[in-house]
Amino acid sequence: MSGIDKMKNKAEELSGHGKESVGEATGDRDLQAEGEKDQAKGNLKQAGEKVKDAFK
């Protein structure tokens, strides 16, 4: 299950990167901020998965 969670977290991070890029290109500051937030959330979840893996 950990592998699936890692893929979901990476997908969330990549989706955030896409939102940020589109927001930057179109001048949509809200979309850009949402993308940055999604990236941070994905990174935080990935860090949690790494900690769980370290204790296995």
pLDDT tens digits, 3-56: 888 888 899 999 999 999 999 999 999 999 999 999 999 999 988 888 888 887
Per-residue confidence (pLDDT) for residue 37, from 0 to 100: 95
The pLDDT value given to residue 40: 94
Opening angle at CA 15, ends 9 and 17, nearest 5:
105
Residue 18 is predicted with a pLDDT of 95
pLDDT of residue 1: 52
The pLDDT assigned to 55 comes to: 86
